């Protein structure tokens, strides 16, 4: 069917969720997928389930974005800022390499780093980025399939 001369083509229908509460990750997923596929509950479940399915030996490191209290000297203010923290395995031991610490903090083996991640995620408002090689990313081998 052809359009009348001079008629403007109709704009495409674009799915777009607006920000509500602190659900920007859910909105971003749905906006990219162009439909409402994820809810807060579904996203929370996905975050909890891959934690146990992470193939940690395939992961070079983890970067967490956490809420961080604000203080002036000994005075703690009722404000929260975001802070990035690195976790990495060195010689079989996982370490918290938070730049605010005086020295690296040993977390232990895989169970120790999983416990640390679970505690961080339980606080809410935590984001976890995996640092992997291009090969691991392409194969998806950072996630166990068993």
Regarding predicted confidence, which is higher, 136 or 37?
A: 136
Which of the following is catalytic: 16, 27, 47, 83?
A: 83
The pLDDT of residue 26: 77
The pLDDT of residue 75: 73
The CA-atom distances, in angstroms, between 28 and each of 16, 43, 64, 133 are: 9, 11, 19, 25
pLDDT > 70? residue 139: yes
Spatial separation of the C-alpha atoms in residues 20 and 40, rounded to whole Å: 11
Which of the following is catalytic: 24, 27, 47, 126?
A: 24
The pLDDT of residue 107: 97
Spatial separation of the C-alpha atoms in residues 126 and 146, rounded to whole Å: 26
Q: Which of 41, 53, 71 is nearest to 114 (CA)?
A: 53
Q: Average pLDDT, stretch 15-41?
A: 77
pLDDT > 60? residue 1: no
Q: What is the pLDDT of residues 117-131, one digit of tens each?
A: 988 888 777 788 889
Regarding predicted confidence, which is higher, 139 or 96?
A: 96
Cβ burial of 59 (10 Å; 0-12, 13-18, 19+) is buried
Q: What is the pLDDT of residues 58-88, one digit of tens each?
A: 999 999 988 776 667 777 666 667 788 999 9
Question: Domains, the chain, ranges and CATH?
Answer: 40-133 (3.90.70.40)
Cβ burial of 9 (10 Å; 0-12, 13-18, 19+) is exposed
Task: Specify the pTM.
Answer: 0.66
Supply φ then ψ for residue 145, to 5 degrees: -105, -5
Beta bridge partners of 45: none
Task: State both tokens at 121.
Answer: 């995620």
* 126 a catalytic residue: no
* 83 a catalytic residue: yes
């Amino acid at each position: 069917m052809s359009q009348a001369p001079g008629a403007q083509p109709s704009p495409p229908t674009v799915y777009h969720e607006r920000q509500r509460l602190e659900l920007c990750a859910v909105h971003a997923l749905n906006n990219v997928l162009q439909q409402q596929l994820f809810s807060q509950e579904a996203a929370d479940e996905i975050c909890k389930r891959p934690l146990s399915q992470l193939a940690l030996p395939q992961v070079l490191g983890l970067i967490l974005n956490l809420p961080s209290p604000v203080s002036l000297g000994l005075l703690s203010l009722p404000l929260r800022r975001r802070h990035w923290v690195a976790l990495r395995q060195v010689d079989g031991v996982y370490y918290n390499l938070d730049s605010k610490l005086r020295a690296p903090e040993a977390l232990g083996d895989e169970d120790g780093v999983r416990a640390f991640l679970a505690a961080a995620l339980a606080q809410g408002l935590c984001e976890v980025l995996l640092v992997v090689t291009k090969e691991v990313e392409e194969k998806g081998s950072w996630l166990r399939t068993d």
